[in-house]
Amino acid sequence: MKVFVSSDMEGTAGVVDWEQCVGTGPEAAAGRRLLLAEVNAAIEGALAAGATEIVVNDSHSTMRNLPPAELAGGASYISGSHKPLYMMQGLDGSFDAVLFISYHGSVGAPAGLSHTYNPRAVVEARLDGAVTGEAGINALVAAHYGVPVVLVTGDRCACEETAALIPGVHSAIVKEHVSRLAAHSLHPDAACALIRETAQRAVTGAAAAGPPPLRSAVLEISVRTTDIAEAATWVRGVDRTGPRELRFSGDDPLAVYRSFCAAILLTRSIAEVV
């Protein structure tokens, strides 16, 4: 059994501030240790359920947050910031299950460090009218390849947003929202135990799970400025439906996802200066 892990960071128990998520300072180093423990807990749970190969795609910030030699179970590691499939790089139809680890709530949601891909550009994202975060958008790739998303871990908002789009997904909620910069987290050992147990259940049931029901989903994005919206329309498959409203369409979910990622990359410099 082959398992794909997409690991973010802001959903990690004990992580509540950007200094724990970016840079090279002591706070960032401590945050990465917490993240590594949760990723390894998910790997250990998957292995206990019969997984024979684990691929971890580092999906946070510069995407080189985990020490490769310390990944459990001999997992292979995809790292580095330039990836055509971004947070889902490496996934294809050969996998049996997808795990989303340390995910966070969407921009504007009641969740710590909430954002959706680029907080300077994206104000809200919707799939078939339902507000979603990165988990829902990333699930488009799993839908294309027909691979079930069986687990999401992180804050309550991330787990509830994912469950609304993927019925039956297993959730491991490791912290509760207090404010955007505060949370009530499980002790790291308790968080890892919960993730390990939930991952084992999720992967055990993967054979009976279907892919995300998103093959015909419509992705709509509200952006912060009209300049961002205009630049995004330079990407194939993007239509402007309002001054700051975008609609992403394509022949399949992967085409929608690729158009979205291209628009995010293209508008990044504009979002930082306007």
> Does residue 274 have a pLDDT over 70?
no
Distance CA 201, CA 28 (A): 31
Distances (CA, A) of 104 to 26, 115, 133, 153: 22, 8, 8, 9
pLDDT at 273: 64
pLDDT at 95: 98
Distance CA 11, CA 60 (A): 11
> Does residue 18 have a pLDDT over 70?
yes
Report, as an integer, the average pLDDT of 200-204: 98
Active-site residue identified among 60, 104, 115, 144: 115
Is 115 one of the catalytic residues?
A: yes
pLDDT at 153: 98
User: Among residues of the chain, what percentage have pLDDT more than 90?
Assistant: 93
Q: Which domains does the chain have, with CATH numbers?
A: 2-117+145-208 (3.40.50.10780)
Residue in the block written with tokens 């027909």 = 146
pLDDT at 272: 77
Q: How confident is the model at residue 85 (pLDDT cuts 50, 70, 90)?
A: very high
> Does residue 250 have a pLDDT over 90?
no
Distances (CA, A) of 173 to 79, 161, 184: 26, 12, 11
Q: How confident is the model at residue 126 (pLDDT cuts 50, 70, 90)?
A: very high
Residue 172 CA, chain-centre distance (Å), reads 14
